[in-house]
Amino acid sequence: MEMAKVSIREQITRLVQGALAKRFGRVEVAPDANLTDLGLTSLDMVGLMLAIEDAFGIEIPQRRMTPANFRSVGAIEQLIATVSLAA
């Protein structure tokens, strides 16, 4: 039996939830929720960026490592799409 594919958005959501769980336990994350407002610190964002690069096999260019690109799950999803297309 073939495993159902997990969407990019779901993978990002799981990574964000994992980062938040370290301090807050399980947290629901809406696609447009502001990650800073949910409690992610700048250090958490660096860890999240590295986890995203690893999970999706991409390298995020330094110029794309901006707070706006990591403000929400939806923003990260758009970032991944644009970085993947440029590769």
pTM metric for this prediction: 0.89
Distances (CA, A) of 37 to 29, 42, 59, 72: 11, 12, 26, 10
Share of the chain above pLDDT 90, in %: 82
Q: Confidence band (pLDDT; 50, 70, 90) for 85?
A: confident
Q: Is the pLDDT of residue 11 over 60?
A: yes
Per-residue model confidence as pLDDT tens digits over 46-75? 999 999 999 999 999 999 999 999 999 999
Pick the CATH number of 8-86 from 3.90.1150.10, 2.60.120.260, 3.40.190.10, 1.10.1200.10: 1.10.1200.10
Look at residue 1 in the predicted model and tell me its pLDDT: 37
Contacts of residue 80, defined as CB under 8 A and 6 or more positions apart, other chains included, come to 8, 12, 52, 56, 58
